[in-house]
Each structure stands twice: as structure tokens, then as C-alpha cells.
Structure 1
Amino acid sequence: MTEKLKLTIKKPLSLNKQSQLFQALKPLHEQAKKEKHQDLQQQRQNEREAKQKKREEIKVALRWLYEQFPACFNPKDLKPLKLNIDKDLFSFLEKENSPSKVKLRDALTYFTSNVHYLKAIINGTHRYDLNGQQAEEITQEQKDFAQNKLEKILQSIKTKNQHKIKSSS
């Protein structure tokens, strides 16, 4: 363990001594500031890399869903998914090259948070199973939930765009 050194001054320092002390400590302060900045940059870089890795894993899991269940998962024709469809998908995860449960859930979250998917819920009448067959009706409560979520996403996008415009000015 490293101990912090304590400096105890019994009498007030003269201006000359204060200046000397400040000059002696200045390089240490600058070094600590520089190290803190480097640590912060490294932390940001690690966060960017982790986000990029997660995005790639989601893309891989989505590709698997598109290939295995084209009747249900079609990026050009989004259908509202049956509730708890993840439970149906878990039985297929034993296959080779299938994603893990966590990656599958991340991909489903991404898929179902898509603006076009939310619009499919709002405008649709039924949810669909893995074979593309109608499974259950979409309730008004579910449509309202999707509408609220869509509005929040659109507001978030609008806010981000406003911040980008302000910061580039």
C-alpha cells in the first residue's frame, strides 16, 4: 500500500518560501494532471471499443436470426414478434454457430427498438411466431406502449441532432 505523505507546517511560510514550494510542486501537479487526462482518454477508448464489439455481436446474432427464421425476421418486412419469442428461440441455440442467450437478447432488444418495428406494432393487428404465422392479436395497450416508445426515440434523435448542430457551430 502506498501512504500519502503529510506535510505539516507549524509557522506560516514567507512569500518567498511559498513561491519555492509552489515551483517545486508544479511539475508533480502537471504530471498528475497529464496522467489523469491519459487515463480518461484510455477509458473513453475502451468504452468505444466495447460498444463497437457489442454492435458487431448484435449484427452477427441478427444475421443468424435472418438466416434461420426468414419468415419471421426479415429486415425488409418487419413483423411484430410474438410475446416471449426469445423462449422459442432458446431451443435453437444448441445449433452450431448460434449466438449465446445474452447476444440473442441484445439482438432482439435492438430489433424491437427499431423505429420501423415500432411502427409495425402500431399499424399491425397481429404478432407472428418463428414460422411467420399469426400468433396473437396486438392489444391497444401494446400499441400505445409502442407509440410512447417511438416518440421517446424520435425525441432522443432530435435532441442529439440539436446538440451536434450546436457543437459544430
Structure 2
Amino acid sequence: MTPRALLKSLQEQFPVFRDCQPLAIGIDKALLARIPGLEKKVLRVTLSLHTHSMRYLKTLEKATHRFDLDGNQADEVTDEHRTHAANTLRERLKKQADERRARLKAEKEAEAERLREAEAERLRAEKLIQLAEKFSRK
């Protein structure tokens, strides 16, 4: 099973995943106990995908408690975890904005280059016409 397929399955089985609620510490052990034959490596990647998603981080940033697989409150979300989620979100949004700015700048530069090339081609064509008129027989 792929990590994405497992995540989809977990979202169908457990509301805590579907609603992106903060997961209880040690939820991996609870999942391994509930789902026999689950590969630890696939579970680790799946949990990483889930807990690094923007939606999860936004929820964690504002949450006060974590939840177990049954949706029951577990331990509290520490200030350190909330701060980490907020910083991760801020960094990711800044990176996206920087990438968007760089892409727009590259597009503008490419458009300016296309305009310069079109103008150069127009001038060449104009000169050819002038030369043809100058040297053509009348």
C-alpha cells in the first residue's frame, strides 16, 4: 500500500485524520495495534504527509488539545508545537511567495525578450523592403 492510499484509508476510517485534528503523541503505535500488517515505513511516510500538510499545520497552530483515534482528547498541544507549526507555515508561505515572484519576473523578462526579438525582426524586414525598393528596376 502506498502512503497516499494509506492516508486516504485512514481518513475514511478515523475522523481525527479526516478533520485534520492534532494527533496524539504516539498515534503510530495505536495505528500499528489497530491495523495488523501495517508496514512501519509506509506508516511513517503517511504520518509525515499528513502532519506536514498546510491544513494540519493551520489546525495545530490554533489547537489546545490533541486527539486519539477515537476522537477523544489526549494531551495538550504545547506552545512549542504551536510555535513550530506557525513558523513552518510562515516559512512555507514565504517560500511560495518568493517562488511566485521569481516566476512572474522570469515571465516578464521572457516577454520583454520576445518583444525585443519581434522589434528586431520588424526592423530587418523593413530594411529588406527598403533595399529591395532601392535596387529594384523601375
1:64 aligns with 2:9: yes
How far apart, in 2, do the equivalents of 1:164 and 1:61 lie? 34
Q: CA deviation at 1:65?
A: 0.8
1:80 aligns with 2:48: no
1:150 aligns with 2:86: no
Q: CA deviation at 1:122?
A: 1.5
Q: CA deviation at 1:128?
A: 0.2
Q: CA deviation at 1:166?
A: 2.7
Structure 1: stretches of 5+ with no match in the other structure: 1-55
- 1:94–1:124 distance in 2 versus 1, CA, 3 Å: same
Letter in 1 for 2:33: S
Given the two structures, how large is their TM-score scaled by the length of structure 2? Answer: 0.69
Which structure has more relative contact order (CA 8 Å, sep 6+)? It is 2
**Structure 1 runs of 4+ with >6 Å offset:** none
How far apart, in 2, do the equivalents of 1:86 and 1:167 lie? 44
Corresponding residue pairs, total: 108
Q: What is the DSSP-based 3-state SS (H/G/I as helix, E as strand, rest coil) of the residue aligned with 2:41?
A: helix
How far apart, in 2, do the equivalents of 1:167 and 1:87 lie? 48
How far apart, in 2, do the equivalents of 1:162 and 1:107 lie? 31
Q: CA deviation at 1:151?
A: 1.0
Which segment drifts farther, 151-160 or 131-140? 151-160
1:131 aligns with 2:76: no
Q: CA deviation at 1:86?
A: 1.2
Q: What is the DSSP-based 3-state SS (H/G/I as helix, E as strand, rest coil) of the residue aligned with 2:74?
A: strand
2:100: which partner in 1?
161
How far apart, in 2, do the equivalents of 1:61 and 1:165 lie? 37
Q: Share of identical aligned residues, percent?
A: 34
Q: CA deviation at 1:159?
A: 2.0
1:91 aligns with 2:33: yes
**1:78-135 deviations in Å (ceiling 9; x for gaps):** 211111211211223425xx5x222221121111111221121121110000111100
Q: What is the DSSP-based 3-state SS (H/G/I as helix, E as strand, rest coil) of the residue aligned with 2:60?
A: helix
Letter in 1 for 2:89: L
Q: CA deviation at 1:57?
A: 2.7
Structure 2: stretches of 5+ with no match in the other structure: 109-138
